[in-house]
Amino acid sequence: MYVCCCNPFSDKAVKAHFDEKAKDRRVTVSEIYNTCSGGAKPQCKTCLPTVAEMVKDHNRKIIPIIPVPGTPDPV
């Protein structure tokens, strides 16, 4: 499904970015938009809430690993 119609890219492109380039880290809406649109700027901005929701869902899954003193390194 297309996420952005002005600079066409799909939800698959966004998910591919999460899986391939940001598997273990948080991302921003700007990063996702810039990458998936090929560097084009948003025009009507209708898609930004959808991109923001996808980014929020992704970032929620990124749990920081906090070392506990006296235990083996978790990584």
Q: Least distance from C-beta 40 to ligand FES, angstroms?
A: 9
Task: Rule CB under 6 A: say whether 42 interacts with ligand FES.
Answer: yes
Nearest alpha carbon to residue 41 among 5, 4, 1, 7: 7
Work out which of 10, 28, 30, 43 binds ligand FES, going by CB under 6 A.
43
Amino acid symbol at 18: F
Cβ neighbours of 16 (radius 10 Å):
13
Task: Rule CB under 6 A: say whether 30 interacts with ligand FES.
Answer: no
Work out which of 46, 49, 56, 67 binds ligand FES, going by CB under 6 A.
46
DSSP tag of 29? H
Choose one: 17-25, 42-50, 57-65, 67-75; the region binding ligand FES (CB under 6 A): 42-50
DSSP tag of 57? H
